[in-house]
Amino acid sequence: MTTTRDLENLLKQSIDGDMDAFERLYHATSSKLFGIVLRILKNRAQSEDALQDIYVRIWQKAADFEPGRASIITWMSTIARNRAIDIVRRQKPEVDADDAEIETIASEVSIFDEVVLASEVRQLDLCMSGLEDDRQEMVKLAYLEGWSRAELAERFAQPVGTIKTWLHRSLRQLKECLGS
């Protein structure tokens, strides 16, 4: 397991030109950053390409990292997220007013679909409220924000094994509540 301090040391060594340290930093963080990018871009090949660019940016901006302002993984995640958002924005074609109106009408969801979706969201909210407060937060951080078990362990001051068990139990409880 790589700690925040380990990651900071690897980044510091990278600033000094240590390619091996940068490679270890990549291996320790790439799956998390890939998850963030994939969630935004929703395309595996495009996310893989973006990840390469993200690590080039991390290499170039390594000297800008300030440990007191944010954790290194937060800093790296912000770079990844911003790059993915830039890609999404760049891909959206300019649309004139008529095309925008047509696209709005074509993409409208039926009232039936809205009712079904609202019902599912309410059911999920109801099931989430059945979890203890810290378990609700943990599930949201893990599955919506992409936090690793190690980050959760640090945040909740628990061993990684305990976090794994809590997440497993929470997901089982949600699955039972949702009836699937």
116-172 in CATH: which number?
1.10.10.10
Show Cβ contacts of residue 150 under 8 Å, excluding neighbours closer than 6 positions.
1, 2, 3, 160
Where are the CATH 1.10.1740.10 domain residues in the chain?
Answer: 4-91
Most confident of 18-27, 39-48, 143-152, 167-176: 18-27
Handedness of CA 19, 25, 27, 32 (dihedral sign): negative
Give pLDDT, residue 82: 86
**Per-residue pLDDT averaged across 2-29, rounded?**
92
Range list of H helices, 16-107: 19-41, 44-61, 72-91, 97-107
The one-letter amino acid code at 145 reads: E
Given this model, what pLDDT does residue 67 score? 84
Which segments of the chain belong to CATH 1.10.10.10? Answer: 116-172
Q: What is the pLDDT of residue 86?
A: 85
pLDDT(95) > 60: no
- The pLDDT value given to residue 134: 92
| Reported CATH class of domain 4-91 | mainly alpha
Q: How confident is the model at residue 70 (pLDDT cuts 50, 70, 90)?
A: confident
* pLDDT score of 1: 62
